[in-house]
């Protein structure tokens, strides 16, 4: 007797002529099981048992279309009351076949016949018929309200009623969604909108299996809002799908998702473009043409030329009039790192220690000590403007750096810090809701303090805390970057912007300006940029730096790499910094990290052929000939090198090209006729000891 409730009910359904097929615990058909297209639903008991053996413990579903059934699904979930909605149309479900579902004690009402199956705008009501299926009693599913696993339960097993007269009318009346007005003169795929979406995609987190379709659909809807056509959305999402979706969805599936997003009625195309949100851009009217032929040279010069103060002509300079010996060299505070009057960006992922590293550089500029690999050229006061941490945390990190590097705080009077964590001290903000607005008070206060203290370096940590604009919008971020460029030029101080890197799925991004999170305008505005990143697992391993503790300790070693250098020489090598631990007081049980520069030496590795020769040298005897075949077999069996036999033979040919001497032994390369075919030759190696008396 069958004991599995779902299988038992599947056989019962089949005996009634109702077609069934197996589904998983996720309520979906099994991979490769196309129940609709291939008509795999069955009423054959033997076939049902065959399916049950192939998919043990599976759920079972009713093929509504082939069974000539219409099922009304009444739900009590997601805040919807399907029974209250149903009561608007009828006092009774008009059928005597009812199944309780696991979702908030909802019900499936079964009817004879086929009917319409769309009820998107009826809260708590849905339907299944031709082309659809429902799980049958005995199947198990998770209650989306309580999270408990429950079975579908048959509560009424009476005769099925016909589809009620009220139902077709209700299910054919569609409620139209009110759409936002399309911006006047809107066209799809404007270049600035495509660029905006491209930058936006860079910062979207990877998608894992289980949420792919829903996440991609939401992205497609947003891309439509950003002003992209279905075709352009598919083009950009196809690349993103291959790089950031694990595993990627199939091309056909992605086409369907993009088509659904393009048809979404919740917002109009382009509803989130800058034009729609902030108004249409100003229409550029070309200036009136000037008839230069009817004007004298004096008039032209007075209006447009050298005679008009501030004109382009007045600012023109011919380079041959410049004495090259009077051109000064570039000025730096730290060589190739901070330049007075310019902005530097430091890009790093979360947790690397951006703030502690900035403190190390601040100490170098303030004290003149070469605490970093970038030589101190000029010293002076430094201002740390921290946008995230409370004052006490900044003081902890500063104290740790002072203690670690043995700096007497009584002799260092030029490091100042300011915590803006709980203060409205942003430099640039969307204060009007429409345009990027400069906070003049904060900007002027900063300029005044820099000039008053004669500060040489201003550190903004992190950059995102200095504004409340859209970090993915190039125009917004360019406006913020221009504010800091203005501060640098007005005070002739260097400005350091500490910025986050975007999320990544591998050890990529080191030394790459594009690794910065958000719009690319920040990197374009900075004249110098570096990335700060953890040591990779490979670098920590035995073949590179062989760090004690290996991969478990790699996060204690940080690499600074050049990403942009418009004012100096590019550095092609890693600058390595370590993290030390400091107890601020002996009674403390916790430590605070402090950065220090460290010199790492790569592990010396011998080429595979040298490793092979070393092993052979220790394994063979003097005055005995060895063929290449014997040496290859010896190397393979004893694992002299972790290479294929073909590569070993290649190394042997490279090693024994000619005679040579190694450790007082002479290696002779001999060629003798092969025993099986004298026309061919076999190579032998003979080693002899060199006579010291000769």
Q: pLDDT tens for residues 488-510? A: 999 999 999 999 998 654 455 68
CA–centroid distance for 537 within its chain:
19
- Give every CB contact of residue 290 below 8 A, 6+ residues apart in sequence: none
Judged against a pLDDT cut of 60, whether residue 173 lies above it is answered with no
Note the pLDDT of residue 177: 41
Domain ranges in the chain are 5-172, 191-278, 343-597, 608-689
Helix boundaries (H) for 101-204: 166-172, 191-202
3-class secondary structure, 49: helix
Q: pLDDT tens for residues 381-397? A: 999 999 888 899 999 99
In this structure, whether the domain defined by 343-597 belongs to CATH 3.40.50.300 is answered with yes
Q: Output the DSSP codes for 339-353.
A: -TTSEEEEEE-TTS-
Reported as a pLDDT band with limits 50, 70 and 90, residue 375 is very high
Q: pLDDT tens for residues 524-533? A: 889 999 999 9
- Dihedral in degrees, nearest 10, Cα atoms 251, 257, 258, 260: 150
Reported as a pLDDT band with limits 50, 70 and 90, residue 185 is low
Determine if the pTM surpasses 0.85.
no
CATH topology (fold) of 5-172: Prim-pol fold (3.30.2250)
Average pLDDT value over all residues in the chain: 83
Helix boundaries (H) for 55-186: 82-86, 166-172
Q: What average pLDDT does this structure show over 473-484? A: 86
What percentage of residues in the chain have a pLDDT greater than 70? 85
3-class secondary structure, 196: helix
Please indicate whether residue 181 or residue 462 has the higher confidence score (pLDDT).
462
- The 10 Å CB-count burial string (b at 16+, else e) for 20-44 is bbbbeeeeebeeebebbeeebbbbe
Q: Which tokens belong to 375?
A: 């030589």
Q: pLDDT tens for residues 220-237? A: 888 888 888 888 999 999
């Amino acid at each position: 007797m069958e004991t599995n409730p779902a299988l038992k009910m599947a056989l019962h359904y089949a005996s009634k002529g109702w077609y069934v097929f197996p589904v998983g615990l996720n309520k979906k058909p099994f991979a490769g099981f196309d129940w609709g297209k291939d008509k795999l639903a069955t009423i054959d008991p033997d076939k049902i048992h065959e399916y049950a053996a192939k998919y043990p413990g599976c759920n079972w579903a009713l093929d509504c279309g082939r069974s000539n059934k219409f099922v009304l699904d009444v739900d009590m979930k997601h805040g919807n009351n399907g029974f209250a909605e149903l009561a608007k149309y009828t006092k009774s479900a008009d059928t005597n076949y009812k199944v309780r579902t696991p979702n908030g004690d909802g019900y499936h009402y079964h009817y004879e016949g086929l009917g319409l199956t769309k009820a998107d705008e009826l809260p708590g009501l849905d339907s299944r018929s031709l082309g659809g299926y429902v799980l049958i009693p005995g199947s198990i599913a998770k209650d989306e309200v309580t999270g408990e696993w429950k079975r579908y339960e048959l509560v009424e097993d009476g005769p099925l009623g016909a589809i009620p007269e009220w139902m077709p009318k209700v299910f054919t009346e569609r409620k139209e969604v009110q759409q936002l007005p399309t911006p006047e003169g809107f066209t799809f795929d404007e270049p600035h909108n495509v660029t905006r979406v491209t930058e936006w995609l860079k910062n979207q987190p990877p998608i894992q299996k289980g949420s792919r379709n829903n996440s991609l659909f939401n992205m497609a809807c947003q891309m439509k809002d950003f002003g992209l056509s279905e075709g352009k959305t598919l083009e950009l999402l196809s690349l993103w799908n291959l790089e950031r979706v694990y595993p990627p969805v199939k091309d056909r599936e992605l086409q369907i998702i993009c088509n659904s997003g393009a048809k979404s009625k919740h917002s109009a195309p382009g509803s989130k473009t800058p034009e729609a949100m902030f108004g249409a851009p100003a229409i550029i009217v070309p200036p009136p043409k000037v008839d230069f032929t009817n004007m004298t040279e004096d008039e032209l010069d007075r209006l447009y030329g050298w005679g008009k103060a501030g004109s382009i002509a007045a600012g023109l300079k011919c380079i041959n009039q410049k004495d090259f010996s009077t051109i000064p060299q570039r000025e730096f505070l730290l060589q190739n790192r901070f330049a007075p009057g310019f902005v530097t960006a430091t890009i790093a992922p979360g947790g690397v220690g951006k703030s502690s590293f900035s403190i190390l550089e601040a100490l170098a500029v303030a004290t003149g000590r070469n605490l970093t690999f970038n030589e101190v050229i000029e010293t002076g006061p430094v201002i740390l403007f921290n946008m995230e941490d409370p004052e006490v945390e900044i003081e902890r990190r500063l104290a740790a750096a002072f203690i670690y590097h043995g700096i007497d705080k009584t002799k260092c009077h030029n490091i100042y810090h300011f915590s803006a964590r709980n203060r409205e001290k942003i430099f640039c903000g969307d204060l009007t809701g429409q345009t990027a607005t400069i906070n003049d008070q904060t900007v002027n206060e900063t300029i005044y303090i820099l000039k008053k203290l004669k500060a040489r370096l201003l550190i903004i940590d992190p950059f995102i805390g200095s504004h409340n604009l859209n970090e993915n919008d190039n125009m917004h971020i360019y406006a913020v970057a221009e504010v800091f460029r203005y501060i640098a030029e007005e005070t002739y101080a260097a400005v350091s912007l500490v910025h986050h890197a975007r999320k990544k799925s591998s050890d990529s991004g080191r030394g790459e300006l594009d690794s910065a999170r958000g719009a690319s305008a920040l990197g374009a505005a900075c004249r110098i940029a570096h990335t700060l990143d953890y040591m990779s697992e490979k670098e920590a391993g035995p073949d590179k730096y062989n760090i004690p503790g290996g991969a478990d300790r790699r996060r204690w070693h940080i690499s600074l790499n050049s990403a942009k250098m418009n004012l100096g020489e590019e550095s092609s090598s890693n600058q390595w910094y370590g993290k030390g631990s400091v107890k601020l007081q002996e009674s403390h049980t916790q430590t605070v990290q402090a950065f220090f520069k460290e010199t790492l030496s790569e592990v010396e590795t011998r080429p595979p052929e040298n490793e092979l020769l070393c092993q052979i040298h220790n394994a063979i005897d003097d005055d005995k000939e060895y063929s290449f075949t014997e040496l290859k077999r010896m190397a393979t069996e004893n694992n002299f090198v972790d290479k294929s036999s073909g590569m070993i033979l290649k190394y042997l040919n490279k090693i024994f090209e000619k005679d040579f001497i190694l450790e007082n032994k002479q290696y002779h390369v001999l060629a003798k006729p092969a025993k099986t075919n004298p026309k061919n030759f076999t190579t032998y190696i003979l080693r002899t000891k060199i006579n010291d008396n000769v």
